[in-house]
DNA sequence: TACAAAACTTAGGAAAGGCAGA
DNA sequence: TCTGCCTTTCCTAAGTTTTGTA
């Protein structure tokens, strides 16, 4: 792997044979969702204007809907249709014959009850809140840790997802469906043979107990919406996740060494006589230049209609031979992961442009742009170019190299700490923009900006006062007054930096790139170089996740 | 080799926590 | 001490890649 052999020995005390993830694994199993508590008698459900007492099962599902009443999606046709269909499955035959129209269902009383409940929770006394906190801590202590080989490790998600209504992101065809309650009989336990096997809740048994040390999960079950498997795995601070993370960045650093060659290669391939090779080369160019995701095919009607690079359709791009004074502009407009819109106008090389024209010839808008390509073909090719290379490595590589470059460019040695941190955030922001990590502007954004502005105004006023006092002060008081002004000046500057940062961050989410794409050693090195406390860049959780990097990187670290 | 299933990483929003100023 | 706001943590969906199977 290079670059960190010493570290390797220190952090991975034992080597494992190929594919073996652990030798010993012991845990307590999952925590199940609390059982359903029926509503008090005085909370009513109405059908067609008349009070109706629901069976426990039907009532439980009704409460899921009632809790979502304020959300826009309970008004959506698909959501309502899916919900009603699944709800009816839980009804008794009498309920089924009575309740035939969702629009005649009145959940408002139930909804009010839940609102009152959550209000009451907020108003709880200190002691009551403390009691709940202690109970959570007990649960964490008992179920939140496992032993993997010689380490006690934190488990990420030891609580089983409670039942509820499925809400996918974007325009999901399954929104509103009932996510059923997971029982011990659904659960597969994975642990080592010689460990203390977790016991199922009284009166229940596990679906299966297995001892598979070729995988890292502790618990799995199959969810009923997509039929996919869900897992309980370890926290990012664990050895097994940390090592994998480190390995990911080492792969990206290997790409750095051969990326020029790969770029030359795909540029050559734009001229290939084979259509398949040309498509592959243009797609790879997009993945590299624009940090697009690979874009696997998805089953139609099972998920929201989103795409990545290989699954782009003709309707997702527009070609402009000339636009705003630039030649050969490609306009991208599509929904990517989580139905986040990707919109970008990009000048490309003439050859790319001509190829795109060729790929689009005689096609309908809904046809695949790269009809001779998929992620498996692309990744196979990448594997030939470099061992371990896959499409997503380009995102990691380009994100990390961009951070490193931007930090070099933006950091001003004369700046104070808040200004340097602003530069760091701007470098981080450049990456988030590259990776299209967006967020909905916070609901109170405008207000919060205004609050901050009035703080700034007040501080300016204070500064003016201080300066006036300084002017009129007697010689012996000048020094003290001057110090006071300086202090206020600094505070003002800090506030102004904060305002700039917040404004620039309105629609950008920095967390995702920080957590998943940026080699933490770059940040650690930057902190060391400029004497910035690491706590200013990484919070506690992040420091735990990146413990390996904090331990390892010196100020001269180069990605 | 192709396809499906399994495993694992990446993602944004909601809820909870905690802290500063009233 | 309370309130309101920002930060952190939780939650779990939605991707990518790897593995298994015929």
Across A129-140, average pLDDT: 85
The catalytic residue positions of A are: 517
**Nearest nucleotide, CA A516 to C1':** B10
A337 beta carbon to strand B: under 7 Å: yes
Per-residue pLDDT band at A3 (split at 50, 70, 90) = very low
* Per-residue pLDDT at A535 exceeds 60: yes
CA of A366 to C1' of B3 (A): 24
Nucleotides of B under 7 A from a protein CB: 3, 6-14, 16-17
* Tokens found for residue A175: 């929104």
Distance CA A332, CA A318 (A): 7
* Minimum CA–C1' distance nucleotide for A233: B8
Does any strand B atom come closer than 7 Å to the Cβ of A390? Answer: no
Question: Of all protein residues, which has its CA closest to the C1' atom of C10?
Answer: A157
Average pLDDT (A538-553) is: 94
More confident residue, A448 or A314: A314
| Tokens found for residue A383 | 């594997």
Structure tokens at A147: 């032993």
> Which residues lie below 8 Å from residue A93, measured CB to CB, with a gap of 6+?
none
A476 pLDDT band, cuts 50/70/90, is confident
The 8-class DSSP code of residue A212 comes to -
Asked whether residue A21, judged by its CB, lies under 7 Å from any atom of the DNA or RNA strand B, the reply is yes
Packing angle between helix A275-290 and helix A375-385, nearest 10 degrees?
A: 80
Q: Is A547 a residue whose pLDDT tops 70?
A: yes
Q: How many percent of chain A have pLDDT more than 70?
A: 97
Provide the mean pLDDT of chain A.
91
A16-61 per-position pLDDT tens digit: 788 899 999 999 999 999 999 999 999 999 999 999 999 999 999 9
> Which pLDDT value is given to residue A89?
96
Distance A440 CA to C14 C1' (A): 18
A440 touches strand B (CB under 7 A): yes
Q: Is residue A454 scored above 90 in pLDDT?
A: no
E strands, A263-339, are: 317-323, 326-335
- Does at least one atom of strand B sit less than 7 Å from the CB of A441? no
Q: Which pairing describes strands A219-222 and A208-210: parallel, antiparallel, or unpaired?
A: unpaired
Distance from residue A83 (CA) to nucleotide C4 (C1'), in Å?
36
Instruction: Determine the angle formed by the axes of helices A475-504 and A417-434, rounding to 10 degrees.
Output: 10
CB A176 within 8 A of CB A78: yes
What's the CA–C1' distance between A408 and B9, in Å? 29
A373 CA to C19 C1' distance (Å): 22
pLDDT confidence of A453, banded at 50, 70, 90? confident
DSSP A34: P
Nucleic chain B: which protein residues 153-182 of A have CB below 7 A from it?
A: none
Which pLDDT belongs to residue A144? 95
pTM (predicted TM-score):
0.90
Residue A129 and residue A121: Cα distance in Å, rounded? 8
Strand C positions closer than 7 A to protein CB: 5-9, 11-20
Confirm if A74 and A167 have CB atoms less than 8 A apart. Answer: no
Check residue A14 and give its pLDDT. Answer: 55
- Taking residue A147's Cβ as centre, other Cβ atoms within 10 Å add up to 17
From the CA of A111 to the C1' of C4: give the distance in Å.
25
| CA–CA gap between residue A29 and residue A204 (Å, rounded) | 13
- Nucleotide with smallest C1' distance to residue A175 CA: C13
Say how far apart CA A129 and CA A115 lie, in whole Å: 18
Q: Which residue's alpha carbon is at the shortest distance from the C1' of C11?
A: A161
- Nearest Cα neighbor of A213 from A34, A24, A38 is A24
Determine the average pLDDT of the residues in A191-210.
96
CB neighbour class for A29 (10 Å; exposed up to 12, middle 13-18, buried from 19)? buried
Interval A324-353: pLDDT, tens? 999 999 999 999 999 999 999 999 999 999
Tens of pLDDT, residues A266-290: 999 999 999 999 999 999 999 999 9
Strand-pairing partners, residue A153, are A146
Interatomic distance A11 CA / C14 C1' (Å): 32
- Strand B reaches within 7 A of the A398 CB: no
> Following DSSP, what letter does each residue of A383-409 receive, concatenated?
HHHSTT--HHHHHHHHHHHHHHHHHHH
CB atoms within 10 A of CB A558: 10
pLDDT tens sequence across A221-255: 999 999 999 999 999 999 999 999 999 999 999 99
């Amino acid at each position: 792997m290079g670059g960190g052999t010493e570290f390797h020995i220190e952090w991975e005390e034992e080597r494992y044979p190929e594919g073996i993830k652990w030798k010993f694994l012991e845990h307590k199993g999952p925590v199940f969702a609390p059982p359903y508590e029926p509503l008090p008698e005085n909370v009513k459900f109405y059908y067609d204007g008349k009070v109706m007492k629901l069976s426990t099962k039907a009532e439980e599902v009704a409460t899921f809907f009632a809790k979502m009443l304020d959300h826009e999606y309970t008004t959506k046709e698909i959501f309502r249709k899916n919900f009603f269909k699944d709800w009816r499955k839980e009804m008794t035959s009498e309920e089924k014959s009575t309740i035939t129209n969702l629009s005649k269902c009145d959940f408002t009383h139930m909804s009010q009850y839940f609102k009152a409940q959550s209000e009451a929770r907020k108003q709880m006394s200190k002691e009551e809140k403390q009691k709940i906190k202690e109970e959570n801590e007990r649960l964490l202590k008992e179920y939140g840790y496992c032993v993997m080989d010689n380490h006690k490790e934190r488990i990420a998600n030891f609580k089983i997802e409670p039942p509820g209504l499925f809400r996918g992101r974007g325009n999901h065809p399954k929104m509103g469906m009932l996510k059923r309650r997971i029982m011990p009989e659904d659960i597969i336990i994975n642990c080592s043979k010689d460990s203390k096997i977790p016991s199922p809740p009284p009166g229940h048994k596990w679906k299966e107990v297995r001892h598979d040390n070729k995988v890292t999960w502790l618990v799995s079950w199959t969810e009923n919406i997509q039929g996919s498997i869900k897992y309980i795995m370890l926290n990012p601070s664990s050895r097994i996740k940390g090592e994998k993370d480190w390995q990911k960045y080492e792969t990206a650093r290997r790409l750095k060494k051969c990326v020029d060659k790969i770029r030359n290669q795909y540029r050559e391939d734009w001229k290939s006589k084979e259509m398949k090779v040309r498509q592959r080369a243009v797609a790879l160019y997009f993945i590299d230049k624009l940090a697009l995701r690979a874009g696997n095919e998805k089953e139609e009607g099972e998920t929201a209609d989103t795409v990545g690079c290989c699954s782009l359709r003709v309707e997702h791009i527009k070609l402009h031979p000339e636009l705003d004074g630039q030649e050969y502009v490609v306009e991208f407009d599509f929904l990517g992961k989580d139905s986040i819109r990707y919109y970008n106008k990009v000048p490309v090389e003439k050859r790319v442009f001509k190829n795109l024209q060729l790929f689009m010839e005689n096609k309908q808008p809904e046809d695949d742009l790269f009809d001779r390509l998929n992620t498996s073909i692309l990744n196979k090719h990448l594997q030939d170019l470099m061992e371990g290379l896959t499409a997503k490595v380009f995102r990691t590589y380009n994100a990390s190299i961009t951070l490193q470059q931007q930090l070099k460019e933006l950091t001003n040695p004369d700046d104070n700490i808040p200004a340097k941190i602003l530069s760091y955030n701007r470098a981080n922001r450049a990456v988030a923009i590259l990776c299209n990590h967006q967020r909905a502007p916070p609901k109170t954004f405008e207000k919060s900006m205004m609050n901050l502005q009035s703080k700034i105004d007040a501080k300016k006023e204070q500064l003016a006062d201080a300066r006036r006092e300084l002017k009129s002060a007697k010689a012996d008081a000048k020094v003290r007054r001057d110090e006071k002004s300086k202090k206020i000046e600094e505070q003002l500057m800090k506030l102004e930096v904060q305002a700039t940062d917040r404004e620039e961050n309105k629609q950008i989410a920095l967390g995702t790139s920080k957590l998943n794409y940026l080699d933490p050693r770059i940040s650690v090195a930057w902190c060391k170089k400029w004497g910035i406390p690491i706590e200013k860049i990484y919070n506690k959780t992040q420091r735990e996740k990146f413990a390996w990097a904090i331990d390892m990187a010196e100020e001269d670290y180069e990605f």
